Structures are given as C-alpha cells and as structure tokens.
C-alpha cells in the first residue's frame, strides 16, 4: 500500500537556524515525490518535486530535498529559516502504480519560527 509518514507533527526553530523536515514513504515502484507548503487559509504551493535523476532536488524559497531510496526517505532542508517560512508542510508520493494524479499526502508538519 502507498503511504507517507511525516513523524514530526510540530517543529519549532529559531529564525536563521537550519531546518530539516522528515518524510518516509511506502510505494511499490519508483516514486514521484513532492513537498508542498500550506499557509493558514491557503491552498498548497509546490516547493519541489522528484521524478528521476539527481537525487538532490532544488526548489523554491531556498528549499532542497534529497531522495534516499535505501531509506525510503525524502527529507526537506533549508540552511537558514526565515520568519515567513512558518506554515504547514506536506510530503506527497505518486507514481506509475497509482498515477501522478493520485497523490498520497502525509499528515503534515507544522513549522513555527521564533525570532
């Protein structure tokens, strides 16, 4: 079965500190992996995506993620967090088994940034 686990429900970091949000997935084939961000009352904005090739993916707003097949992980990182990064972050998986249309999302990690 396809699933995504985001083990951290809530993370608090200081502005300027580094950030890593964890994502583990279960998928029976080579996955398509995504990170989305959602601000309160807003829809989802795509940060980055992985389909194939280089396992280190660069996204918008200074975010990057690394696909590690051996660990079934796709962790999101940012070297220096800004106060505007406070939001909910969702990892999602799709692929040839279920179609890129049918994304399975994790339950999200809420990021709080303190001054």
Partner 1 sequence: DAGVTQSPTHLIKTRGQQVTLRCSPKSGHDTVSWYQQALGQGPQFIFQYYEEEERQRGNFPDRFSGHQFPNYSSELNVNALLLGDSALYLCASRLAGLHGYTFGSGTRLTVV
Interacting residue with partner 1 among 21, 31, 81, 108 (CB under 8 A): 108
29 binds partner 1 (CB under 8 A): no
58 binds partner 1 (CB under 8 A): no
Interacting residue with partner 1 among 8, 13, 15, 51 (CB under 8 A): 51
- Residues 75-94 interacting with partner 1 (rule: CB under 8 A): 90, 92
Interacting residue with partner 1 among 41, 52, 54, 70 (CB under 8 A): 41
Q: How far apart are CA 103 and CA 84, in angstroms?
A: 26
DSSP lists the bridge partners of residue 111 as: 11, 87
59 binds partner 1 (CB under 8 A): no
104 binds partner 1 (CB under 8 A): yes
Q: How far is CA 31 from CA 22, 38, 60, 94, 105, in A?
A: 16, 22, 21, 6, 13
SS3 11: strand
Provide the token pair at 13. 């970091």
């Amino acid at each position: 079965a396809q699933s995504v686990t985001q083990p951290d429900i809530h993370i608090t970091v200081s502005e300027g500190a580094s950030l890593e949000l964890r994502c583990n997935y279960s998928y029976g084939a080579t996955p398509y992996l995504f990170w989305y961000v959602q601000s309160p009352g807003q829809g989802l904005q795509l940060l980055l995506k992985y389909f194939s090739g280089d396992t280190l993916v660069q996204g918008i707003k200074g975010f990057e993620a690394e696909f590690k097949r051996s660990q079934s992980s796709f962790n999101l990182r940012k070297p220096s967090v800004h106060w505007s990064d406070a939001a909910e972050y969702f990892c999602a998986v799709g692929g040839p088994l279920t179609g890129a249309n049918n994304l399975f999302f994790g339950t999200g990690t809420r990021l709080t940034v303190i001054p």
